[in-house]
């Protein structure tokens, strides 16, 4: 619903940061679909003000700040945003019915803009593995998270949108994948390790220092946190990290190698990993197809799903799935 989406003016945002955080600076908007994010540039520092969509439960917003605090204690070598408290010592405040938080801004180049190398792929896995290790000890107060249609453990819910996939070859492949998934993968999900996962560790959320282009320096955007099968984080990173990659074997093996050095993969997770990766691509394709149906004038939506279709095709051709 439109009234759930925050749309604060720059003047209102300036008032919030001055009144509650004692800060003054330039206000710039970040692109955000359901929430509202603003960059606050002061003479000495930059911050991100995050205003949550009203459809997110307060417990979910609190979990995002709790996870950041947890990582600062359990994995201090991992760079993630820090929560800035208000002048009253609060992590989260309510303004006009919207939950508001302030985080520090992390410097760095997005992974998507950096040429990929085996060493860089391996370091993606290293960072994510350390994150998974740290999250073993996090006990969430709430298990509900972001949009249920984007939860990998709940991918079967996307099946109703399969008829909206226009590409016949992709629709046929996804049909066969759903059949295999329901028979061979779903029964195993209850027995997998569970934890709160990042849920969206992709090339848009990993940060790199261009001076050291083989090392991941940070991770941002914790808005897709969810209690889930823990191996899903690795599957999601593989799904996005291999888009447009010609050498699937090299890239995936390096990410997995880096991950396993920090967090051991169990046999029952390993045997279904590529199928979980494929099902993340299925979510991408089915949900963008549904969005394209809702907004037929936006031709870009279907163009943007082509890399996912191509990767899904490669996974089958190279016998990672449906062999």
Distances 39 to 2, 97, 208 between C-alpha atoms, Å: 23, 21, 19
Q: How far is the C-alpha of 317 from the C-alpha of 225, rounded, in Å?
A: 32
| DSSP, res 140 | -
Pairing mode of beta strands 93-95, 98-104: antiparallel
What residues contact residue 29 under an 8 Å CB cut-off, 6+ apart?
10, 36, 37, 38, 39
Q: Other CB atoms closer than 10 Å to residue 273's CB: what's the count?
A: 18
Q: Other CB atoms closer than 10 Å to residue 167's CB: what's the count?
A: 15
Asked whether the beta carbons of 107 and 208 are under 8 A apart, the reply is no
User: What's this model's pTM, rounded to 2 decimal places?
Assistant: 0.95
Q: Which residue ranges form the domains of the chain, and what is each CATH number?
A: 2-105 (3.30.200.20), 110-317 (3.90.1200.10)
Q: In this structure, what token pair is assigned to residue 217?
A: 């320096």
158: left (phi over 0), alpha (psi -120 to 50) or beta: alpha
What residues contact residue 228 under an 8 Å CB cut-off, 6+ apart?
145, 151, 152, 153, 194, 195, 196, 197, 199
Q: In this structure, what token pair is assigned to residue 194?
A: 């569970």
Q: In this structure, what token pair is assigned to residue 176?
A: 């066969």
What residues contact residue 212 under an 8 Å CB cut-off, 6+ apart?
none
Pairing mode of beta strands 83-84, 98-104: antiparallel
Q: What is the largest CA-CA distance in the chain?
A: 60
Q: In this structure, what token pair is assigned to residue 55?
A: 């459809």
For the four alpha carbons of 6, 11, 12 and 17, in that order, the dihedral sign comes to: positive
Angle between helices 232-241 and 273-294 (to 10 degrees): 60
DSSP per position, 179-245: HHIIIIIGGGGGGS-EEEE-S--STTTEEE-TTSTTSEEEE---TT-EEEETTHHHHHHHHHHTTT-
Average pLDDT for consecutive 10-residue bins of the chain (323 residues)? 82 98 96 90 96 93 96 97 98 97 96 96 98 95 78 96 96 98 98 96 95 96 94 98 96 98 98 98 96 86 90 97 88
The separation between the first and the last C-alpha atoms of the chain, rounded to the nearest angstrom, is 43
What residues contact residue 34 under an 8 Å CB cut-off, 6+ apart?
5, 53, 55
Helix-, strand-, coil-residue percentages of the chain, each rounded to 5 = 50, 15, 35
Asked whether the beta carbons of 101 and 92 are under 8 A apart, the reply is yes
């Amino acid at each position: 619903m439109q009234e759930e989406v925050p749309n604060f003016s720059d003047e209102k945002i300036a008032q919030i940061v001055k009144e509650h955080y004692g800060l003054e600076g330039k206000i710039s908007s970040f692109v955000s679909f359901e929430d509202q994010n603003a960059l606050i540039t002061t003479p000495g520092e930059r911050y991100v003000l995050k205003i949550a969509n009203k459809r997110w439960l307060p417990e979910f917003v609190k979990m995002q700040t709790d996870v950041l605090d947890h990582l600062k204690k359990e994995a201090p070598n991992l760079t993630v945003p820090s929560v800035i408290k208000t002048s009253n010592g609060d992590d989260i405040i309510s303004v006009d019915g919207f939950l508001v938080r302030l985080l520090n801004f992390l410097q760095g180049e997005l992974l998507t803009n950096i040429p990929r190398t085996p060493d860089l792929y391996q370091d993606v896995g290293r960072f994510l593995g350390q994150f998974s290790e740290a999250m073993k000890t996090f006990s969430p107060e709430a298990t509900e998270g972001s949009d249920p249609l984007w939860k990998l453990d709940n991918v079967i819910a996307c099946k109703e949108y399969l008829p909206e996939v226009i590409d016949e070859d992709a629709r046929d492949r996804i049909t066969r994948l759903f059949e295999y998934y329901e028979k061979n993968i779903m029964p195993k999900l209850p027995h997998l390790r569970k934890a709160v996962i990042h849920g969206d560790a992709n090339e848009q959320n990993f940060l790199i220092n261009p001076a050291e282009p083989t090392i991941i320096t940070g991770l941002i955007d914790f808005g897709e946190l969810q209690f889930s099968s823990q191996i899903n984080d690795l599957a999601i990173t593989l799904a996005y990290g291999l888009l447009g990659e010609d050498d699937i074997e090299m890239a995936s093996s390096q990410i997995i190698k880096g991950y396993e050095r920090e967090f051991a993969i169990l046999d029952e997770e390993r045997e279904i990993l590529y199928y979980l990766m494929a099902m993340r691509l299925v979510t991408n394709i089915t949900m963008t197809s549904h969005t394209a149906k809702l907004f037929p004038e936006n031709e870009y939506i279907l163009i943007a799903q082509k890399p996912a279709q191509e990767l899904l095709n490669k996974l089958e051709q190279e016998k990672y799935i449906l062999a």
